[in-house]
Amino acid sequence: MIDVRLLTGPFIPGQFIGPFTNAHPGLGGVCTFVGEVRGEDGVEALELSHYEPLTLPGMQALAQQAVTRFGLMGMLMLHRVGVMRPGEPIVCVSAAASHRRAAFDAVDFAMDHLKSQSWFWKREQRGGEWTWIEPRGQDYADLARWD
Amino acid sequence: MIDVRLLTGPFIPGQFIGPFTNAHPGLGGVCTFVGEVRGEDGVEALELSHYEPLTLPGMQALAQQAVTRFGLMGMLMLHRVGVMRPGEPIVCVSAAASHRRAAFDAVDFAMDHLKSQSWFWKREQRGGEWTWIEPRGQDYADLARWD
Amino acid sequence: MSARLVFLGRLGDLVSGGELAVAPGPLADVLAALEPQLALALADERVRHALNGQLLARETAIELAAGDELAFLPPVSGG
Amino acid sequence: MSARLVFLGRLGDLVSGGELAVAPGPLADVLAALEPQLALALADERVRHALNGQLLARETAIELAAGDELAFLPPVSGG
């Protein structure tokens, strides 16, 4: 099962992960990563924008690619858009597989691609001022691991 | 926060992961692995035995080691003992960290050590017959990655 | 009937509302008719294009027809 | 008063209840007094020992006193 969603409001990862796990009887393991908005360095809010015609289709293609490449039973991929406060989940990726290694690698793969090859633009608010975030060189290096 | 438990009955990982996550305001990400009993090859049940004086203290030391090595904010480590049926969770490890890579590596590290260097003994029931499971060569190879 | 330019990410800050209606034609002509500062930002080689929701290969020659939507996509930063 | 041997994992199948009360003394003497098949399984070099809940380094000379608990730990298989 591939379940990919863009969410416009706060969400609780467990409410998606539980049903996702239960949808795959016979699985060996589920690896999950949840990323949250960090409040460090005085960040007051974070805004993610997307481009409707590309963002969700791109995520669906990425999830399908991960399922095929790592032989998964399923992948859950949730991503917030809009304005978020520190402590709110931004992203949740789960992979269900027969074996642990495949589940781990698939989530790692998906996260690297979500970070630097999916159609999201991020800006942060500090002291009332919004600043756009550029991708870091490290993000491209992470991505290159999968070539 | 380090939360390490041996559980003698079925558990729902989300009931532990939610509070664990909430206990670490300011985290950047949480990586979680949940392993379940596979029902493949006619496995009817699985039994994990442990040795009280060593098993839980060994897990606590392992979690502390992971927290130190990867600079985690916290680690959750749950392991079932006793008789389990296919579909039941055996193990759940979560790492909370400022950054994704540390969280991933810490869970990977902990799982490799739980599998081949913690005080558990596993047997499987097929057709009413119990068979002890030996560690696989692959498990030792996985462990050697961390030396 | 005009074509529509859509500006994503930091490019959206350069134009009120993040969108602009323009006269159809080759992209070079469209850009030449914009404010120089905006045209310069859009000409950044890292900016990708999507025409009517389809991502275009880099260096594709773009000709806007009436009703087209051309999106300007600066480098992404998700996750 | 006797000492107690505790058998984990597959070793537990060799003795009813997985435990045995034995006369104190050096481990070699204790093993010599057991059934040969059990003694052989316990002598496997992969079997580790814990004395009163403390894991012993390999090759430690073991002398059982009255009331001691000696656990025999075969290779583990968790997760």
Interface residue of B119, B123, B136 to substitute, partner D, most D CBs within 10 Å: B119
Amino acid B136: pLDDT: 75
Dihedral of CA atoms B99, B103, B109, B114 in degrees, nearest 10, equals: 160
pLDDT above 80 for B40: no
Name every residue whose Cβ is closer than 8 Å to that of residue C18 and which is 6 or more positions away in sequence. C6, C7, C8, C11, C12
Record: fold of B2-133 = Aldehyde Oxidoreductase; domain 3 (3.90.1170)
Identity of residue C63 = E
Amino acid C79: pLDDT: 58
Q: Do A114 and C79 touch (CB under 8 A)?
A: yes
Dihedral of CA atoms A106, A109, A110, A115 in degrees, nearest 10, equals: 160
pLDDT above 90 for C5: yes
ipTM: 0.90
pLDDT above 70 for A125: yes
Q: Do A18 and B17 touch (CB under 8 A)?
A: no
Q: What distance in Å separates residue B59's CA from the closest CA in chain A?
A: 19
* Separation between Cα atoms, residue B79 and residue B113, nearest integer Å: 13
| pLDDT mean over A5-12 | 97
pLDDT above 60 for D79: no
**Chain B residues inside the 8 Å CB shell of D55:** 54
Name every residue whose Cβ is closer than 8 Å to that of residue B144 and which is 6 or more positions away in sequence. none
Convert the pLDDT of each residue in A15-54 to its tens digit: 999 999 999 988 999 999 999 998 778 899 999 999 999 9
Nearest by CB to residue B29, choosing from A17, A21, A33, is: A33
Do residues A63 and A77 touch, judged by C-beta distance below 8 A? yes
Instruction: Tell me whether B21 touches chain A (CB under 8 Å).
Output: yes
| pLDDT mean over A69-80 | 98
Nearest by CB to residue C75, choosing from A54, A79, A135, is: A135
Q: How confident is the model at residue C78 (pLDDT cuts 50, 70, 90)?
A: low
Coil, strand or helix at A68 = helix
**Chain C residues inside the 8 Å CB shell of A7:** none
Amino acid C56: pLDDT: 96
Nearest by CB to residue D79, choosing from B49, B91, B132, is: B91
Instruction: Tell me whether D17 touches chain B (CB under 8 Å).
Output: no
Convert the pLDDT of each residue in D26-78 to its tens digit: 999 999 999 999 999 999 999 999 999 999 999 889 999 999 999 999 999 86
Amino acid B131: pLDDT: 93
A 92-111: CB under 8 A from B: 98, 100, 103-104, 107-108, 111
Convert the pLDDT of each residue in B62-116 to its tens digit: 999 999 999 999 999 999 999 999 999 999 999 999 999 999 999 999 999 998 8
In chain B, which residue's Cα lies nearest the Cα of A86?
B26
Name every residue whose Cβ is closer than 8 Å to that of residue A71 and which is 6 or more positions away in sequence. A97, A98, A102
Higher pLDDT, B90 or B41: B90
**Chain B residues inside the 8 Å CB shell of A27:** 36, 38
Percent of chain A exceeding pLDDT 70 equals 100
* Separation between Cα atoms, residue C71 and residue C69, nearest integer Å: 6
pTM score of the predicted model:
0.92
Rg (CA), chain D: 12
| pLDDT mean over B37-59 | 92
**Chain B residues inside the 8 Å CB shell of D50:** 51, 53-54
Instruction: Tell me whether C55 touches chain A (CB under 8 Å).
Output: yes
> What is the domain partition of chain A in residue ranges?
2-133
> Could you give the angle at which helices A100-117 and A137-144 cross, rounded to 10 degrees?
140
Identity of residue B95 = A
Average pLDDT value for chain B: 93
Coil, strand or helix at D22 = strand
Amino acid A42: pLDDT: 87
**Chain A residues inside the 8 Å CB shell of C73:** 51, 54, 119
Instruction: Tell me whether A61 touches chain C (CB under 8 Å).
Output: no
Amino acid D1: pLDDT: 83
In chain C, which residue's Cα lies nearest the Cα of A52?
C53
pLDDT above 80 for B25: yes
**Chain B residues inside the 8 Å CB shell of D47:** none
Convert the pLDDT of each residue in C22-52 to its tens digit: 999 999 999 999 999 999 999 999 999 999 9
Query: Residue A125 forms beta bridges with which residues?
Result: A45, A130
* Separation between Cα atoms, residue C58 and residue C38, nearest integer Å: 20
CA distances from B98 to A3, B94, D60 (A): 27, 13, 43
pLDDT above 70 for A113: yes
Q: How confident is the model at residue B42 (pLDDT cuts 50, 70, 90)?
A: confident
Burial of C24 (0-12, 13-18, 19+ CB in 10 A): middle
